[in-house]
């Protein structure tokens, strides 16, 4: 186990999601075209182009979700439309058709699902289905792929009143696409009669990282005695996607 401290610096918003994806594909196109000129070989094959488009599509979805989870632009469609147009223009071996459908099945709306509830669970997610078709001389590729980017947080807390002090333990589980994930930073807040307070400002505060997506924050809070104290946890994963979850302490 190792102890980590909250990153106190302000979290800057990630660059425009579309720009990230365009840079990925543009860079690959440039490098491959330079190699082609130098070697006389056509390295930007339809297969390579397909891989690059899929990579760019995922980077775009991640970038939009980062912005949405930080309270920024929460619209996937216009960014993806611009990405589709860009990708089509960069295929030089024939015709490129790239289409998409935003996930609309509940709990998604227009491809996004952001829910930071009071039940100890929070989720920031984006889901898009893509269809890519490449045609040309001796080439016909049809690829259907889905992009689902999901950061979720599960939080539980217990409080023990001892010697005039609340001894509080908060257990945090972070997931990426349902698998345990590491946090970039975690902030734990506790509720008082005057509002929410940052637990890391307490001298007693400790945050233990078990290295498998599980974290335990422990701290002590003096009187007055408060039952069912509210706990709020905010977290950035390694992709800079933000997720938040609220719960109440179980009093032991």
Q: Give yes or no for residue 41 having a pLDDT over 70.
A: no
Distance between CA atoms of 70 and 164, rounded to whole angstroms?
38
Q: Alpha-carbon Rg of the chain, whole angstroms?
A: 23
Res 20: pLDDT = 52
Residue 138 binned pLDDT confidence (cut-offs 50, 70, 90): confident
Total domain count, the chain: 1
Q: Give yes or no for residue 239 having a pLDDT over 70.
A: yes
Q: What is the mean pLDDT of the chain?
A: 85
Provide the residue range defining the domain that includes 224: 153-251
**Domain-embedded: residue 115:** no
Res 44: pLDDT = 65
CATH number, position 225: 2.60.40.1930
**Domain-embedded: residue 237:** yes
**Domain-embedded: residue 80:** no
Q: Give yes or no for residue 36 having a pLDDT over 60.
A: no
**Domain-embedded: residue 79:** no
Q: Give yes or no for residue 9 having a pLDDT over 80.
A: no
DSSP assignment letter at 218: E
Residue 22 binned pLDDT confidence (cut-offs 50, 70, 90): low
Q: Which of 147, 181, 168 is nearest to 228 (CA)?
A: 168
Question: 93-113 pLDDT, tens per residue?
Answer: 889 999 999 999 999 999 999
**Domain-embedded: residue 38:** no
Q: Which of 44, 121, 130 is nearest to 83 (CA)?
A: 130
**Domain-embedded: residue 187:** yes
pTM of the model: 0.84
**Domain-embedded: residue 85:** no
Question: 179-201 pLDDT, tens per residue?
Answer: 999 999 999 999 999 999 999 99
Question: What are residue 43's phi and psi, to 5 degrees?
Answer: -80, -20
**Domain-embedded: residue 225:** yes
* Non-local CB neighbours of 57 within 8 Å, separated by 6+ positions: 21, 83, 128, 130, 145, 147
Q: Is the peptide bond before 173 cis (omega within 30 degrees of 0)?
A: no
């Amino acid at each position: 186990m190792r102890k980590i401290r909250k990153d106190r610096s302000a979290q800057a918003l990630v660059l425009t999601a579309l720009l990230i994806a365009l840079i990925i594909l543009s860079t690959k196109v440039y490098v491959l075209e330079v190699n082609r000129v130098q070697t006389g070989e056509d390295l930007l094959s339809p297969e390579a182009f397909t891989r690059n488009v899929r990579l760019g599509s995922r980077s775009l979805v991640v970038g939009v979700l980062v912005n949405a989870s930080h309270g920024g632009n929460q619209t996937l469609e216009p960014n993806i439309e611009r990405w589709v147009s860009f990708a089509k223009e960069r295929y030089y071996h024939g015709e490129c058709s790239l289409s998409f459908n935003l996930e609309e099945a509940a709990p998604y709306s227009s491809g996004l699902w952001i829910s930071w509830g009071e039940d100890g669970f929070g989720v920031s997610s984006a889901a898009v289905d893509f269809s890519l078709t490449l045609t040309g001389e001796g080439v016909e590729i049809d690829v259907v792929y889905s992009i689902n980017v999901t950061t979720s947080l599960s939080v539980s807390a217990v409080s023990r009143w001892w010697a005039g002090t609340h001894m509080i333990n908060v257990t945090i589980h972070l997931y990426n696409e349902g698998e345990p994930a590491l946090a970039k930073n975690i902030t734990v807040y506790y509720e008082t009669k005057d509002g929410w307070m940052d637990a890391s400002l307490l001298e007693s505060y400790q945050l233990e990282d078990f290295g498998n997506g599980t974290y335990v924050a422990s701290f002590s809070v003096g009187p007055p005695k408060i039952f069912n104290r509210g706990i709020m946890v905010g977290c950035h994963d390694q992709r800079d996607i933000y997720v938040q979850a609220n719960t109440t302490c179980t009093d032991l």
